[in-house]
Structure 1
């Protein structure tokens, strides 16, 4: 595996993924009972936007760095995302957080998280970023195997009734990743059926996703919601035109929290033809 997220840190896909992640964490924190977060492909946790990898591609300049500061008219979900990112940059203003660092900042005393990263160099960097935080355990291991090993979650004698599982693979062979995701979800839903699963996916041409969505709708989950942001029309298979977050068993009314933030994101980061949409692939009957 040669993928290094440092080249893409802070791009439009990170913005969508992390805005949805922060909204999910906020939804979980509305209840007092503790919850568990599993990040299957965690990366190094924090990225220097002025470092060699990020500066070589400059993708953050078309993503996070194009977002205006929060103001009176900023949708709450977007304002919360900006605040959450700012909290991680207090001591390192040139950096952008990965998902495990955002999770670590959101956890309460009773909550726990596991962050999995297979690449030794990235895993070592992640351990350094999260050093001293007893609420988060870093595992140098394959993320799909971790779903089998760590679900259902427990911490000592504590068993968690609630959980959030983030699946964010590198998609080095895009078409080959979907069967792995489907198999992992099918197994994880048996192990931890009450969990919410959040799957990030790239969009080149949306039509290519239809077989994946059809198979996913057949899994034994109560509901599945696709949240998508395209920064340009999906008319080329040669570039990432947008991305999506697929939420399996999402928290109640999460779409109402997230949808108002999508238009400002498209306006800030998009080219002509930018768009967004929320689509229920499967919806629980009232």
Structure 2
């Protein structure tokens, strides 16, 4: 397993927690190079979680580029992108870029803790999952109502659909 962390202190903690496990390698620095540098892998399947800090304005675009590189280098990779839900206008372009990623299939699942029009707030978060494992959609359909109820602060909700269907 390869783990990559941008922030030095978090990376140090990650290395400390993973030391002694020879199956785990921890790299420090920007993770955008990972798909190009490490895919394809020898195994027939791979899972990649893209979880940027969203500190830069271009990170949604960089996520879609990373997804395209991942799918281009190893088409069957299960790739999940975590993203914040703040400004719906920014998300529209992100969704369009994801839909044009070339992934064989792409599931979108979102959890809302506030109404989407709440200004200057983290209103929820989402996952875009390329090549989701069999059964995940059904499991999420059972889980998401519970999470929305428990985590919703002013108005919880959820949504799930296919940005790219089979």
TM-score category (smaller protein): over 0.9
State TM-score, norm by structure 1: 0.56
Verify the 8 A CA contact 2:35 2:73 in the aligned structure 1: no
Aligned match for 1:192, one of 74, 89, 114: 74
- Residues matched between the structures, number: 166
1:160 aligns with 2:160: no
The one-character-per-residue Cα deviations of 1:35-94 (angstroms, maximum 9, x if unpaired) are: xxxxxxxxxxxxxxxxxxxxxxxxxxxxxxxxxxxxxxxxxxxxxxxxxxxxxxxxxxxx
Which stretches in structure 2 are left out of the alignment for 5+ residues?
none
1:142 aligns with 2:142: no
Give the C-alpha shift of residue 263 in structure 1.
1.2
Secondary structure of residue in 2 paired with 1:143: coil
For 2:55, the equivalent position in structure 1 comes to 172
Q: How does 1:55-74 map to 2 (within 5 A)?
A: none
More strand by share: 2
For 1:181, the equivalent position in structure 2 comes to 63
Structure possessing the higher radius of gyration over alpha carbons: 1
1:244 aligns with 2:132: no
Give the C-alpha shift of residue 125 in structure 1.
1.3
Q: How does 1:1-286 map to 2 (within 5 A)?
A: 113-153=1-41, 159-173=42-56, 175-284=57-166
State TM-score, norm by structure 2: 0.93
Which stretches in structure 1 are left out of the alignment for 5+ residues?
1-112, 154-158
Root-mean-square deviation (Å)? 1.4
Q: Distance in 2 between matches of 1:245 and 1:228?
A: 6
For 1:82, the equivalent position in structure 2 comes to none
